[in-house]
Amino acid sequence: MIDIQHVTKRYKDVTAVDDVNFTIRQGEIFGIIGYSGAGKSTLLRCLNLLERPTEGKILIDGKDLTSLSDKEVRKERQKIGMIFQHFHLVSSKTVFDNVAFSLKAAGKTKEEIQKRVPELLEMVGLSDRSRHYPAQLSGGQKQRVGIARALANDPKVLLCDEATSALDPTTTKSILQLLKKINENLGITVVLITHEMEVVQDVCHRVAVMENGKVVELGEVYDIFAAPKTALAKQFVRTVHSLELPERLLAGRKGPIVQITFQGESAEEAVISETLKQFNVSANILHGQISYIQDRPLGTLIIEMIGSNADVQQSIDYITKRTNQLEVLAGVA
């Protein structure tokens, strides 16, 4: 659907995006995460040529946007909706007129606009706010207007530049659920820029992790949460799944402390109970949690294993075989 080929964007001596390559599939919600200055927003703006790449190509549905004239690019942008962090609504216009703006720009007739705008407002849950002005709306309602405006011309792609960063957690959840509903019902490909891993966990199918203009890790969201490979990805995962133990829990321990990750079916099986039945060991649970990512369970458990060296090692081998993911965090004190 979106093919990013060797894209680089430079501003004089600064390289904001550095030789980025990946493909975004049709109908998926694709996340791009990174801290400020990572290059993620610049990359997003390259996708609809608000920023022209210094090098490389952007292909959408097989069409190379970088080879088009400015006039042709403006036409192609009608197929690419965009949502901004700060809404960018016209304060002097009503909700209806803010949404109608995109339709007027596309040359739609008055009759088409009168029919289409109410459909869009119903889709985003704002049918009763048609004649209100932006100053009369909450932050979440303003973003819903922005989403309706972005969907006005039936785009194939929806670009979201930090669309929830200015919202409180409860409103963020509602906007993410709306984007997920739009993706599922309309089949629109959504590209979502964020610096919050919780946003990625809630709605994204795949994610690219960016640092210093480069993509340092890319994969299925579930896989990156289960086994992040880079230090940056691990850091982002820890912001959602904190596994830090206080020093007092590590002091005076009687056995090794292990961290076990349960994926898929193993997250719903009684692996620890079966281990304790089979081997002469006891377990002191220090930390545990389970999350559901794309409806797939992902569990983490940190335990102190107490018993003879032989029994503990047999237990570790058994759990490792069952889960494939066991890490010894600390040996015997």
User: What per-residue confidence (pLDDT) applies to 105?
Assistant: 87
The reported pLDDT for the residue numbered 332 is 57
pLDDT of residue 8: 97
**Whether the Cβ atoms of residue 83 and residue 163 lie closer than 8 Å to each other:** yes
Section 192-198 average pLDDT? 94
pLDDT in tens, 43-57: 999 999 999 999 999
Residue 171's contacts (CB-CB under 8 Å, 6 or more residues apart) are: 138, 139, 140, 143, 164
Instruction: Tell me the pTM.
Output: 0.88
Stretch 250-279: mean pLDDT, rounded? 82
pLDDT score of 139: 93
Q: State yes or no: pLDDT of 326 exceeds 80.
A: yes
pLDDT of residue 266: 66
Q: What is the pLDDT of residue 115?
A: 95
pLDDT above 70 coverage of the chain, percent: 97
Q: CA 164, CA 193: separation in Å to the nearest integer?
A: 10
Backbone angles phi, psi at 298, to 5 degrees: -135, 115
Q: What is the pLDDT of residue 287?
A: 85
**Strand partners for 10:** 15
pLDDT at residue number 152: 93
> Confidence class of residue 173 from pLDDT cuts 50, 70 and 90?
very high
What digits encode the pLDDT tens for the residues 81-124? 999 888 889 999 999 999 999 899 888 999 999 999 999 999 99
According to the per-residue pLDDT averaged within each range, which of 67-81, 126-140, 254-268 is highest?
126-140
Residue 17 has a pLDDT of 96
pLDDT of 267 strictly over 70: no
Domains of the chain: 2-231 (3.40.50.300), 247-330 (3.30.70.260)
DSSP state of 245: P
Specify the amino acid at residue 127: S
Average pLDDT of the chain?
91
Query: Would you state the pLDDT for residue 271?
Result: 87
| Bridge pairing between strands 296-306 and 206-211 | unpaired
Residue 197, pLDDT score? 94
pLDDT per position as a tens digit, 9-40: 999 999 999 999 999 999 999 999 999 999 99
pLDDT in tens, 143-172: 999 999 999 999 999 999 998 888 899 999
Instruction: In whole angstroms, give the CA distance from residue 27 to residue 12.
Output: 36
